[in-house]
Amino acid sequence: MARLPVYLRALTGLQERGVATVSSEELAAAAGVNSAKLRKDLSHLGSYGTRGVGYEVEYLVYQISRELGLTQDWVVAIIGVGNLGRALAGYGGFASRGFRVAGLLDADAAIVGQEISGMTVQHIDRLEDIIAAHGVSIAVIATPAGAAQGVCDRVVAAGVTSVLNFAPVVLSVPDGVDVRKVDLSIELQILAFHEQRKAGGPDELAPMPDGDSPPGAPQYVETVEA
């Protein structure tokens, strides 16, 4: 379930503050969900709570970590060392949760050889080597949109079965390979949508100046890509 990492985050926060026990109500509040949902989710993993008391924080942290596969280490490679790749390479949340970055790769000769967050950027030609040598199982694609599918095909051919895609394209992969996509501009667009609803009040799509102009000439949105 996609909410377990959120619970885990909330639990480690409580753990740091020295809390030993939580009720579903408290944990749900910390995670931003409703308590019935939290109990249902947790009961899916087994009976790890105590009636009348709550959940023991440390035990639950371990059980969720185990369910998520965080008791073993996962080896990741970051492909594309632009601004975003650099940010990812320096992101503390990777190392701290059982994700080990085994390589930073880029196609740009000006970037290859640079030292980023204590790692030397490798040339993309070495992709297959590095995947095999380090046993990479998760590839993080932070390349420009145009390069993403090609890189994806290569990492999949080299045996990677999980891809985290930051490039603004829908990657196609064979069955058995998982892709998750993070798209910054989509997140903003969703916010803009809600923002518009607030501004316009509860009336729906009437009050725009030029609401239903027919198909034709004008170019409404630029198509420059990230």
Partner DNA sequence: ATGTGTGAACTATTTCACAGCC
Partner DNA sequence: GGCTGTGAAATAGTTCACACAT
Residues that bind DNA (CB under 7 A): 22-25, 33-37, 39-40, 42-43, 47-55
Residue 133 binds which of its own copies, DNA, none (CB < 5-8 A, kind-dependent): none
Interface with its own copies (CB under 8 A), residue from 26, 62, 114, 123: 62
What kind and span of H or E run contains 80?
Answer: none
Which partner, DNA, its own copies, none, binds residue 194 by CB below 5 to 8 Å per kind?
its own copies
Which SS3 state, helix, strand or coil, does residue 115 take?
A: strand
Q: Residue 97 or residue 154: which is nearer to its own copies going by CB? A: 97
Q: Which of residues 106-145 bind its own copies (CB under 8 A)?
A: 137-138
Q: How far apart are CA 71 and CA 68, in angstroms?
A: 8
Contact 121/112 with Cβ under 8 angstroms?
A: yes
CA distance 174 to 163: 12
- Nearest approach in angstroms of CB 109 to its own copies is 20
When asked if residue 104 is in the footprint of its own copies (CB under 8 A), the reply is: no
- Which tokens hold the place of 94? 């990777």
67 contacts its own copies (rule: CB under 8 A): yes
162 forms beta bridges with 138, 178
Of residues 53, 132, 157, 186, which one binds its own copies by CB under 8 A? 186
Q: Of residues 36, 53, 95, 132, which one binds its own copies by CB under 8 A?
A: 95
Q: How many residues bind its own copies (CB under 8 A)?
A: 88
Choose one: 34-42, 58-66, 107-115, 126-134; the region binding its own copies (CB under 8 A): 58-66
Rounded to whole angstroms, the Cα distance separating 136 from 160 reads: 7
CB of 57 to DNA, least distance (A): 11
Nearer to its own copies, 125 or 147 (CB): 147
Cα-based angle 183, 188, 189 (whole degrees, multiple of 5): 95
| Measured distance CA(195)–CA(143) in Å, rounded | 30
Listed in sequence order, the residues at least 6 apart from 88 whose beta carbon sits closer than 8 Å to its beta carbon are: 78, 94, 140, 142, 166
Q: How far is the CB of 61 from its own copies (least distance, A)?
A: 6
Question: What sign results for the dihedral spanned by CA atoms 81, 87, 88, 90?
Answer: positive
Nearer to DNA, 65 or 149 (CB): 65
Q: Which does 207 bind (CB under 5 to 8 A by kind): DNA, its own copies, none?
A: none
- Comparing C-alpha atoms, which of 38, 68, 69 is closest to residue 54? 38
